Amino acid sequence: MIIIRKQEIVKLEDVFYLYQAVGWTNYTNQPQMLEQALSHSLAIYLALDGDAVVGLIRLVGDGFSSVFVQDLIVLPSYQRQGIGSSLMKETLEDFKEAYQVQLATEQTEKNVGFYRSMGFETLSTYDCTGMIWVNREK
């Protein structure tokens, strides 16, 4: 049985393999950055199968006007079992008073379909566009 639990402190060694399992090399190539990111998150929820962490959702932001879903990861062998949906539902319930919950994801049919099923809309719905600045010197 999968349990979703909000976790105040998440250690790098407890979740690093999740990032490795899904190939998120921006984090796995810079573990010190991931460690700092974990400690500075607004909230982190873990999906647990017994003692094993099989998924997580990590949020950043102020928690009132803006909450940003930075990471949503489920181990590949646990995907398509409703774990990602459960993590997102818990998040949206806990931050239902926030003005907006945002995220950025790869524009694949699978990803867009998943987030639409959770009630998310594209920015163009609100006559907005997303923009990003990346430090290319790192």
Q: What is the DSSP string of 35-47?
A: HHHHHT-SEEEEE
pTM: 0.93
Residue 135: pLDDT band (50, 70, 90) is confident
Q: Where are the domains positioned within the chain? A: 2-126
- If one looks up domain 2-126 in CATH, what number appears? 3.40.630.30
Q: What percent of the chain has pLDDT over 70?
A: 99
Instruction: Answer yes or no: is pLDDT of 137 > 90.
Output: no
Q: What percent of the chain has pLDDT over 90?
A: 91
Residue pLDDT, tens place only, 76-129 = 999 999 999 999 999 999 999 999 999 999 999 999 999 999 999 999 999 999
Tokens of 111: 């990803």
**133: which strand partners?**
none
Residue 138: pLDDT band (50, 70, 90) is low
